[in-house]
Structure 1
């Protein structure tokens, strides 16, 4: 009986994840090159809503999420609701977010910068004005990133292991990178650890 219930749970969780992954919009990209376990992706420009929080790396996302979620769920002039998108990501940047950085949670001199991608077709000029002064809008430029994907909950050991694999793949392919790594989260907090999709991005330059 216990095994049957576990199997039912896994099946339902997988179905829910598949349904939500199709329902939640992600930024468009093209795969420019495929390495061993790594993709080189090109992301066209998109617009983000962002906020800076004074928190640790593990807590920054939790503190920033209600601020940014409040904005897209109607805490703006006109009370306009915007669709939820993925991923929400974090990138350790020493002082400030680079203009080439993707949708990120980025370490700054004053904490972490956390960003949500806004739906396609929405720009900083056309998006509703935030009512919360902690939220700002920005048009992020196109970027080329090397990406490795893995599952599981956040842990420094899991992150470091996959970052090392990503860097090794780029070294083997003789592809230089710049800036700090970007950690991308794609799933809701209640998603089981084994169904979660995480990615680490590194900025690379053309030509490949």
Structure 2
């Protein structure tokens, strides 16, 4: 086993163990204000927050593993200065076309750019104590650090499977409810995960997040 392989293995195993605890406890999430609650969704106003994100190509249900290894390496010290960064929630995934990258927090979000293409952006939310200037620069050039601006978002929460079929079903329900209520989406839906892969599906907090036009 080479040194590089050993490092990758340690990062992957360490991140999985940390994710099991940190995301289950959801120690920190982006700040938001609840504006309205309906039977189908919650209307939120998010404050700006920082993210670390990476673009990956592949199957909807498999790209998360590749992205997670890259981002976990960054927060475990693969950055200029070797600083370790605490895990937050959620981890998010979304289509790359929207241009919103990912950070290491919870949930994890995923989305697809266009029909027929399979490029996704996966993000980790960065802890609130960091500004964009004080976040350590990643050694991996694929990782992008950026500020997610303040936004109004419709969030639909559900438990259970992380399958694409379940995600698409919940997304359809949310988009139908927004159309009914006269709310217009702005950009692609985001798939957010707040729990570890080892959590029982019935106890998982999953969300579909749809940015809205103001």
* TM-score using structure 1 length: 0.80
Aligned to 2:213: 205
Correspondence 1:92 to 2:111:
no
Aligned to 2:204: 196
Map 1:163-178; keep pairs closer than 5 Å.
163-178=171-186
Q: Counting strand residues as a fraction of each chain, which structure ranks higher?
A: 1
Map 1:19-168; keep pairs closer than 5 Å.
21-93=24-96, 95-97=97-99, 104-108=109-113, 111-168=119-176
Q: Once the 2 structures are TM-superposed, how far is the Cα of residue 24 of structure 1 from its aligned partner?
A: 2.3
CA RMSD of aligned residues (A): 2.4
Aligned to 1:3: none
**What are the Cα deviations for residues 53-83 of structure 1, in whole angstroms up to 9, with x where unaligned?**
2222111111100110111111111111111
Aligned to 1:13: none
Q: CA separation in 1, counterparts of 2:28 and 2:59?
A: 28
From 178, 185, 189, the counterpart of 2:193: 185
Gaps of 5+ in 2: 1-19, 102-106
**What are the Cα deviations for residues 68-115 of structure 1, in whole angstroms up to 9, with x where unaligned?**
01111111111111110111112235x34159xx98434357722111
